[in-house]
Amino acid sequence: MTTVPARPVTGSDRPDEPPLPARQPVDVRIKALRRFAGSITVVTVLGHTVLGFEPARIVPILCVLVSYTASLAFETMDAWALGRRPEYAGGWRQVVNFLLPAHIVGLASALILYANSSVWPYLFAAVVANASKYLVRVRVKGRYRHVFNPSNSGISATLLLFPWVGGAPPYQFTNFTHGIIDWLVPLLVLVMGTLLNAQLTRKMPLIAGWVGGIVAQAVLRWAIFDQSLAGALIPLTGVGFLLFTNYMITDPGTTPVRPGRQVAFGVGTAALYGLLVVSGVAFGYFFALTIACGLRGLCMFAGPRMARYRANRRRPDAGEPAAGPPAGVTQPAG
């Protein structure tokens, strides 16, 4: 005789035991940060082992450790000053989630900058990047929101204050590769970044506005200033541009949410980049994004206050007596 195996008894089958708690969904922001942190970690490891990155291998390790320390220190001081609970409190999972942006900042500083044999500019960029999240904030709907893209602000400040520090040479991303691998590296970065932004950050309109604006400013520079059109468009094919487009300018915390505003932000950043190039300013990508984030922060600060000011002007003065009936008109009794 065939016997049917008994179905295992679970907590939900027993009347004397509560059902198992449902698994909480992971926040989309945390998922995006995890994928971003994983992607930039893979790029860093491959870069220092296969691709031929120029900085010493100790640089990204030191940058990440200093970025962790700075992030924890700034959050502790800010929580103490505002009398709130630190965001990293609540167990090791919360600590890991809190340190994801710091991890990205540290590796981005080591990935994008080149300071020859000195390690201090990299560490300076990581500290400034974490500090910018607390030093420049706008209160929106009762919550503080940082204005500047952390990684970009640290890189911009380093490039501005240390003239002998430059950006990572573009060739380092395919320095040790040959043949079809030279094409697969940018293709991999493009595919990974597109999936991240299409599925999680929802920043494809911003990317469209940014890339379209870059092409438009290149055409305008060619038509007005007789600059080389090919020379203006060649940067779009580099791995550095793909990294900036997919992982830098699309920061969810410092860019608009609505699609129309995303397109405007991307086009505006590209226009600022074109003006900087015409003015002879190097590293225009980073400075243009810094200016765009600053202008957006000013709008976020001034917009609600201007709206309240206009509303108060339209509101009648509470101290004025209510208007009575016109002269010669009597109100009916009762």
Q: How far is CA 259 from the centre of its chain?
A: 16
- Per-residue pLDDT, averaged over 90-113, amounts to 94
Burial class (CB in 10 A: 0-12, 13-18, 19+), 143: exposed
Q: Which residue, chain included where needed, has tokens 């490039």?
A: 159
Q: Which contiguous run of DSSP H or E holds residue 259?
A: helix 259-278
- Position 257 in a domain: yes
Report yes or no on 318 lying in a domain.
no
Stretch (H or E) spanning 189: helix 181-196
Q: How far is CA 96 from the centre of its chain?
A: 18
Amino acid at 35: R
CA angle at residue 203 from 199 to 209, to 5 degrees? 140
Q: Which of 1-5, 125-129, 168-172, 247-251 has the lowest mean pLDDT?
A: 1-5
Report CA-CA distances (Å) from 7 to 4, 10, 13, 331.
9, 9, 10, 84
Q: Count other C-beta atoms under 10 Å from residue 307's C-beta.
A: 10
| Candidate from 204-208, 251-255, 287-291, 317-321 with smallest mean pLDDT | 317-321
Q: Taking the CA of residue 149 as centre, how many other CA atoms within 13 Å lie in the half-sphere pointing to its CB?
A: 26
- The mean-pLDDT minimum among 24-28, 137-141, 207-211 falls in 24-28
Cα pseudo-dihedral 161, 164, 166, 171, rounded to 10: -170
Residue 12 lies in a domain: no
Q: Residue 224 sits in which domain range?
A: 28-313
Does 327 map to a domain? no
In a domain? residue 309: yes
The alpha carbon dihedral of 99, 105, 111, 114 has a sign of negative
Residue 330, pLDDT > 80, answer no
| Residue 15 CB neighbour total at 10 angstroms | 5
- Asked if the structure places residue 78 within a domain, the reply is yes
- Residues 135 and 266: beta-carbon distance below 8 Å: no
CB 39 within 8 A of CB 192: yes
User: Considering the domain boundaries, does residue 319 fall inside one?
Assistant: no
| Mean pLDDT of all residues belonging to the chain | 85
pTM equals 0.82
Report yes or no on 22 lying in a domain. Answer: no
Nearest CA to 155 out of 39, 282, 300, 272 is that of: 282
Overall domain count for the chain: 1
